[in-house]
Amino acid sequence: MDRDYETLRVEDRGEGLLLLTLNRPEVANAMNTQMGRDLLAFFDEVNAAPGQQRCIVMTGAGDKAFCAGGDLKERLGMSDETWAAQHLLFERMIRAFIGCPVPVIGAINGAAYAGGCELALCCDFLYASETARFALTEVTLGIMPGAGGTQNLPRAVGERRAKE
């Protein structure tokens, strides 16, 4: 993994372990279009070389958030067509993430809201700090989670707990 990413840090820790850090701490690691592109490229690269990596640990830069969800400032400036293209990009990225043959451990170090919660739910295992918080906050605005959160959350924690 020798590729540079604009919004990610990838560290090879040896013996097949990669540390993947969402690297936009100034905006609580909010996902913008570039982060979607970077995550898609990262998972496409891992998926194209099965057996090269043994484990990925995914975390967020800083101590404020794992990922606060979508970058709302970017979204406000988008046309409907641009937003639709971004949504398709994120769908492709989530499919590449879920299809990853390498176990992904989410090291959740703060807020995992909206799309950030959905990213966490894609991980095979979660390790949450005492400050970790999970929420599909978009539902309070009448917006459906776009990456399967309404299905993945009950599968991960059970239906009753998900309703909390």
Query: 149-159 burial, b if ≥16 CB within 10 A, otherwise e?
Result: beebbeeeeee
Whether 3 is covered by a domain: the verdict is: no
Q: Is the pTM of this model over 0.85?
A: yes
**Does the annotation count 11 as an active-site position?**
no
What CATH number is attached to the domain comprising 109? 3.90.226.10
Q: Up-side HSE of residue 53: CA atoms within 13 Å toward CB?
A: 25
Catalytic residue among 45, 74, 91, 138: 138
**Does the annotation count 138 as an active-site position?**
yes
Whether 2 is covered by a domain: the verdict is: no
Which residues are registered as beta bridge partners of 134?
112
* pLDDT at 163 > cutoff 70: no
Whether 1 is covered by a domain: the verdict is: no
More confident residue, 78 or 29: 29
Whether 93 is covered by a domain: the verdict is: yes
Domain around 143? 8-163
Which amino acid appears at position 34 of this protein? Q
pLDDT band at 147 (very low <50, low <70, confident <90, very high): low
Whether 52 is covered by a domain: the verdict is: yes
* pLDDT at 94 > cutoff 60: yes
Of all residues in the chain, what percent carry a pLDDT higher than 70?
A: 81
Q: For position 108, what pLDDT does the model report? A: 95
